[in-house]
């Protein structure tokens, strides 16, 4: 029996760079929905019998009905292909900690919704729960293993290897200092100890968006990373779109195309990143920081790239350090002037501007503004 795992799809009508809206679903949301369909397609092609979403299928707790309908139709396709869909509640879907107070209930027609720790055969599912995981995760595992029966149609677990699916970030010594006490996480050493105590050999985790793996003896841990990154705080082309496959004890992964967020200060690097993304089947969102005098030209290029379908969206920002340096240089050139009119002429003459800008017109407008 093969099981596919994904996490952190974050489906919703994101307002930033949302694009055109049709039938209450904006362009960015459609891109994310397409990525989910791609992941389901890979699970079908792999002949999986189960697909587990390890939390944060949705980006917020009250999604629009048309969005949910698209998700439902995708899981209907999985159901028809003989795949059991398991949806673990993540922190983004929760409305409150009360049982049932989350956004996934309406998707239960074609899915098993896991809102509290549940056992499906040798698969142990632990959805999001607030509070430090070291205080409750091992107890949750122990309770599941001691419980009679399971949460679904699968038989109770035997004495063999077990898989644990969680919605928790995983920390190690490389974790940035500001995340080392994050309550929605657990240290890898604490997780290994739980695995050793309860014969768990595979762990797949959602919640944190960077993809990582760890191994200790026979135990392999995979932080899936986001199927769909949510912004430039999840930068780069690689490490996202993960669909993991568990066949026996073999845990492997592929990456499916979807949204990516790239940022650079170089037009040359920007074009290279766009080309690389296209070869991988992705349409990225680009944040390009340039010299102030290049903004008009680069904005036109980004807009044209979006129109041609090379970019899903983009923004062009002024290089603040460069702008400050250029303003200081222009100010220095104006300091030798004998009066305010000469200073203004010198400043405009030395201030970098796009070639298409008429400096005389700028000077004339400034002089007009400064008239008493």
Q: Is residue 23 domain-shared with residue 132, that is, in the same domain?
A: yes
Q: Is residue 266 domain-shared with residue 222, that is, in the same domain?
A: no
For 291-353, the DSSP string reads -GGGHHHHHHHHHHHHHTTS-SEEEEEE-HHHHHHHHHHHHHHHTT-SSHHHHHHHHHHHS--
Q: Is residue 54 domain-shared with residue 110, that is, in the same domain?
A: yes
Q: Is residue 205 domain-shared with residue 310, that is, in the same domain?
A: no
Q: How far apart are CA 222 and CA 58, in angstroms?
A: 21
Domain boundary among 280, 298, 318: 318
Number of domains in the chain: 3
In whole angstroms, how large is the CA radius of gyration of the chain? 26
Q: Is residue 332 domain-shared with residue 297, that is, in the same domain?
A: no
Q: Is residue 108 domain-shared with residue 238, that is, in the same domain?
A: yes
Contact 168, 133 (CB under 8 A): yes
CATH code of the domain covering residue 18: 3.60.21.10
Tokens for 73, please give them. Answer: 């139709």
Q: Is residue 56 domain-shared with residue 188, that is, in the same domain?
A: yes
Question: Torsion-angle region of residue 66: left (phi > 0), alpha (psi -120 to 50) or beta?
Answer: alpha
Give the SS3 label for residue 114.
strand
Tokens for 220, please give them. Answer: 């392999």
Q: Is residue 42 domain-shared with residue 170, that is, in the same domain?
A: yes
Strand extents, DSSP E, the chain: 2-6, 21-22, 25-26, 50-53, 84-88, 111-114, 118-120, 123-126, 162-167, 169-171, 185-187, 200-206, 212-216, 219-223, 242-247, 250-255, 261-264, 285-290, 313-318
- Per-residue pLDDT of the chain (372 residues), as tens digits, is 899 999 999 999 998 899 999 999 999 999 999 999 999 999 999 999 999 999 999 999 889 999 999 999 999 999 999 999 999 999 999 876 677 778 899 999 999 999 999 999 999 999 999 888 988 999 999 999 987 544 444 444 455 569 999 999 999 999 998 888 898 999 999 999 999 999 999 999 999 999 999 999 999 999 999 999 999 999 999 999 999 999 998 999 999 999 999 999 999 999 999 999 999 999 999 999 998 889 999 999 999 999 999 999 999 999 877 556 566 666 676 677 778 788 888 888 877 777 777 888 888 888 887 776
Q: How far apart are CA 144 and CA 59, in angstroms?
A: 28
The DSSP bridge partners found for residue 214 are 221
Instruction: Kindly provide the b/e burial profile for residues 185-209, where b requires at least 16 CB atoms within 10 angstroms of the residue's own CB.
Output: bbbbebbbebbeeeebbbbbbbbbb
Q: Is residue 151 domain-shared with residue 294, that is, in the same domain?
A: no
Tokens for 127, please give them. Answer: 């959805």
Other beta carbons within 10 Å of 22: 10
Contact 300, 329 (CB under 8 A): no
Domain boundary among 205, 233, 255: 255
Q: Is residue 149 domain-shared with residue 191, that is, in the same domain?
A: yes
Q: Is residue 53 domain-shared with residue 165, that is, in the same domain?
A: yes
> Where in the sequence is the domain holding 334, given as residue range(s)?
320-370
Domain boundary among 240, 255, 270: 255
Q: Is residue 78 domain-shared with residue 195, that is, in the same domain?
A: yes
């Amino acid at each position: 029996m093969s099981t596919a795992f994904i996490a952190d799809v974050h489906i919703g009508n994101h307002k930033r760079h949302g694009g055109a809206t049709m039938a209450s679903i904006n362009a960015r949301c459609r891109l994310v929905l397409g990525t989910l369909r791609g992941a389901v397609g890979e699970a079908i092609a792999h002949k999986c019998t189960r697909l587990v979403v390890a939390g944060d299928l949705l980006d917020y707790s009250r999604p629009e009905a048309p969005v949910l309908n698209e998700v439902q139709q995708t899981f209907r396709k999985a159901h028809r292909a003989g795949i059991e869909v398991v949806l673990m509640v993540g922190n983004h879907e929760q409305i409150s900690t009360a049982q049932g107070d989350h956004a996934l209930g309406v998707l239960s027609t074609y899915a098993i919704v896991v809102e509290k720790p549940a056992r499906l055969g040798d698969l142990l599912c632990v959805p999001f729960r607030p509070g430090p995981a070291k205080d409750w995760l091992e107890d949750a595992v122990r309770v599941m293993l001691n419980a009679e029966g399971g949460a679904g149609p699968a038989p109770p677990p035997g004495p063999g290897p077990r898989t644990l699916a969680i919605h928790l970030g995983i920390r190690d010594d490389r974790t940035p200092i500001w995340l080392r006490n994050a309550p929605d996480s657990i240290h890898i050493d604490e997780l290994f100890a739980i695995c050793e105590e309860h014969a768990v050999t595979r762990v797949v985790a959602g919640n944190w968006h960077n993809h990582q793996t760890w191994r200790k003896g026979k135990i392999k841990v995979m932080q899936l990373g986001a199927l769909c990154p949510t912004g430039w705080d999840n930068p780069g082309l690689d490490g996202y779109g993960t669909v993991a496959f568990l066949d026996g004890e073999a845990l492997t992964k592929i990456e499916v195309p979807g949204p990516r967020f790239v940022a650079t200060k170089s037009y040359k690097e920007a074009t290279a990143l766009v080309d690389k993304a296209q070869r991988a089947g992705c349409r990225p969102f680009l944040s390009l920081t340039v010299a102030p005098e290049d903004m008009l030209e680069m904005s036109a290029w980004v807009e044209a790239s979006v129109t041609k379908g090379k970019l899903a969206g983009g923004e062009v920002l002024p290089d603040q350090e460069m702008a400050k340096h250029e303003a200081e240089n222009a100010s220095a050139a104006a300091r030798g002037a004998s009066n305010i009119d000469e200073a203004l002429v010198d400043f405009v003459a030395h201030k970098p501007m796009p070639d298409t800008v008429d400096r005389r017109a700028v000077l004339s407008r400034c002089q007009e503004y400064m008239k008493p």
